[in-house]
């Protein structure tokens, strides 16, 4: 087949080579800055850029000894954990009526609930800033940042859990009812174990989004700092090796969490399948 195509189109091989080269250029354009960031984080040059004068890991040590970075890291993790809890609970709870109820205009309701994903973060930040400061007269704090991030991240959990619920076999719940299980028992022993992979994936995804969130947090956190905001304030005065090291650590954390979001749900599904076998044995 390939030979026939070459005969029909003599320039096919040249076209494929050109497309492959274009794809390589796109990947280089996307990932070369990330690679350079990691390389510069180990560069002994105190200006954090070319030329590379040697290799060192001392910048990572300075990152952990800087009290401003430690405070920003503590605030970032605390906000991410709170956002994860809020988004996971609200998103999971909202998925049940969205999928199982007979509400009219469910498609319109679904679009409304996921609308924060489609709205620019700038608009979300400004609107919540006006709400908290001008209407509710609340002082900006990490709590307001948690609310703002949760508005943005909850739809991701909702979509994941709703997709899992739509593929849920309702006969399993009917079988549990026939065996005498009440509503709570069906939810605990049948529904939640099967939804656990989607809930876990949504929670990890939300935690990753919260770690990297910048625009909404900048509007709502007040005088506090998170790691993305700290990096932004430092870059305004010039890129330093400490900033490169901190950004590389943030990148590593994000990639690790995203990998866990793909791997852990599969492990949970496998564990759920093994439990009945062990019980039967």
CA distance 86 to 157: 10
- Residue 141 is encoded by which pair of tokens? 């704090």
Average pLDDT over residues 33-61: 79
**Residue appearing with tokens 């590593």:** 252
pLDDT at 78: 93
186-241 pLDDT, tens digit each:
777 777 888 888 888 889 889 989 988 999 999 999 888 898 888 888 777 777 77
pLDDT-based confidence at residue 276 (cuts at 50, 70, 90):
low
Work out the percent of the chain whose per-residue pLDDT is above 70.
91
Indicate whether 176 pLDDT > 60. yes
Contacts of 54 (CB under 8 A, 6+ apart): 43, 44, 45
Contacts of 38 (CB under 8 A, 6+ apart): 248, 251
Number of Cβ within a 10 Å radius of residue 43: 21
Contacts 24+ apart (CB under 8 A), 90-95: 90/150, 90/154, 90/157, 91/154, 91/155, 91/156, 91/157, 91/158, 91/160, 91/161, 91/202, 92/157, 92/158, 92/161, 92/195, 92/199, 92/202, 94/154, 94/158, 95/157, 95/158, 95/161, 95/162, 95/165
pLDDT at 231: 81
pLDDT at 111: 80
What pTM does this model have?
0.76
Cα–Cα separations (whole angstroms), residue 148 to 53, 152, 205, 239, 262: 43, 7, 16, 29, 26
Mean pLDDT of the chain: 82
pLDDT at 14: 81
- Residue 145 is encoded by which pair of tokens? 């940042």
Identify each DSSP E strand in the chain by its residue range.
Answer: none
Nearest CA-CA partner of 168 in 203, 193, 205: 193
Q: Is residue 79 within 8 Å of 210, Cβ to Cβ? A: yes
Nearest CA-CA partner of 190 in 165, 224, 222, 223: 165
Secondary structure in 3-state letters for 217-263: HHHHCCCCCCHHHHHHHHHCCCCCHHHHHHHHHHHHHHHHHHHHHHH
pLDDT at 154: 93
DSSP structure string for 143-173: HHHHHHHHHHHHHHHHHHHHHHHHT--HHHH
Q: Give me the half-sphere count of Cα atoms (radius 13 Å) on the Cβ side of residue 10.
A: 0
CA distance 57 to 39: 11
User: What is the H or E stretch that residue 174 is in?
Assistant: helix 170-178
Helices 106-113 and 142-166 pack at an angle, to 10 degrees, of: 140
């Amino acid at each position: 087949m390939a030979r026939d195509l070459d005969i029909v189109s003599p320039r096919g091989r040249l076209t494929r080579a050109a497309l492959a080269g274009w794809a390589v250029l796109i990947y280089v354009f996307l990932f070369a800055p990330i690679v350079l960031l990691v390389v510069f984080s180990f560069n002994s040059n105190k200006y954090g850029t070319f030329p590379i004068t040697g290799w060192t890991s001392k910048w990572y040590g300075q990152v952990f000894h800087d009290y401003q970075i430690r405070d920003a890291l503590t605030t970032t993790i605390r906000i991410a954990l709170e956002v994860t809890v809020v988004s996971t609970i609200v998103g999971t709870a909202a998925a049940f009526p969205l999928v199982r109820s007979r509400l009219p205009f469910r498609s319109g309701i679904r679009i409304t609930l996921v609308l924060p994903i489609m709205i620019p973060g700038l608009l979300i930040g400004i609107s919540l800033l006006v709400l908290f400061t001008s209407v509710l007269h609340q002082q900006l704090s990490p709590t307001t940042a948690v609310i703002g991030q949760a508005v943005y991240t909850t739809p991701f959990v909702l979509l994941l859990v709703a997709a899992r619920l739509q593929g849920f076999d309702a006969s399993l719940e009917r079988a549990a009812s026939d065996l005498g299980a009440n509503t709570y028992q069906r939810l605990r022993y049948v529904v939640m174990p099967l939804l656990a992979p989607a809930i876990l994936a949504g929670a990890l995804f939300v935690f990753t989004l919260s770690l990297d969130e910048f625009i909404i947090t900048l509007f709502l956190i007040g005088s506090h700092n998170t790691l993305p905001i700290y990096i932004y304030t430092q870059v305004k005065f010039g890129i330093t090796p400490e900033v490169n090291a901190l950004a590389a650590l943030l990148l590593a954390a994000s990639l690790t969490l995203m990998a866990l979001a793909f791997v852990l749900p599969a492990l949970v599904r496998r564990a759920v399948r093994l439990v009945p076998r062990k019980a039967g044995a």
